[in-house]
Amino acid sequence: MASLVRGYGKYLAKRIIIMATTLIIATYLTVIIANMGGLVDEIVKSQIEIEVSESMREDPKLAEMTKEEKEEYKQEMIALRLRARGLDKPFVMRSFYYLRDALTLNLGRAMFLRSASGSNRISTIILERLPWSILLYTTGTIINIIIGLPLGLYMGRRALSKLDRGVSMFAVLTASLPSWFIGVLFILLFYFYLGWFPPGGLVSTTHASYWSLGAVRDIAWHIALPLMAWVITGFGGWAYTTRNMVIHITHEDYVLAARAKGVPEGLLVRRYILRPAAPPIVTMVALSLIASWSGAIITETVFGWPGLGTLFWGAVSNMDAPVVIGLTVIYAYLLVITIFALNIIYGLLDPRVKTGAR
Contacting residues toward other proteins, per CB under 8 A: 18, 21-22, 25-26, 29-30, 33-34, 36, 39, 159-160, 168-169, 172-173, 175-178, 180-181, 184-185, 187-188, 191-193, 199, 244, 247-248, 250-251, 294, 297-298, 301-302, 312-313, 316-317, 319, 324, 327-328, 331-332, 335-336, 339
DSSP string covering 245-296: HHHHHHTSHHHHHHHHTT--HHHIIIIIIIHHHHHHHHHHHHHHHHHHHT--
Residue 160 · residue 333 · CB < 8 Å: no
Nearest CB to other proteins, comparing residues 78 and 296: 296
Residue 253 CB, nearest approach to other proteins (Å): 12
Residue 85 CB, nearest approach to other proteins (Å): 21
Torsion of CA 18, 24, 30, 31, to 10 degrees: -170
Nearest CB to other proteins, comparing residues 78 and 151: 151
Phi-psi region of 209 (alpha: psi -120 to 50; beta: other; left: phi over 0): beta
Residue 54 CB, nearest approach to other proteins (Å): 28
CA-CA distance, 278 to 346, in Å (whole number)?
Answer: 11
DSSP string covering 221-241: HHHHHHHHHHHHHHHHHHHHH
Residue 159 CB, nearest approach to other proteins (Å): 4
Of 234, 242, 272, 237, nearest in space to 154 by CA: 242
Residue 21 CB, nearest approach to other proteins (Å): 7
Nearest CB to other proteins, comparing residues 33 and 116: 33
Nearest CB to other proteins, comparing residues 231 and 336: 336
Distances (CA, A) of 3 to 7, 8, 14, 348, 354: 6, 8, 16, 14, 8
User: How many other C-beta atoms are found inside a 10 Å radius of the C-beta of residue 66?
Assistant: 8
Nearest CB to other proteins, comparing residues 79 and 291: 291
Residue 271 CB, nearest approach to other proteins (Å): 20
What is the crossing angle of helices 139-157 and 162-174, to 10°? 140
Nearest CB to other proteins, comparing residues 30 and 52: 30
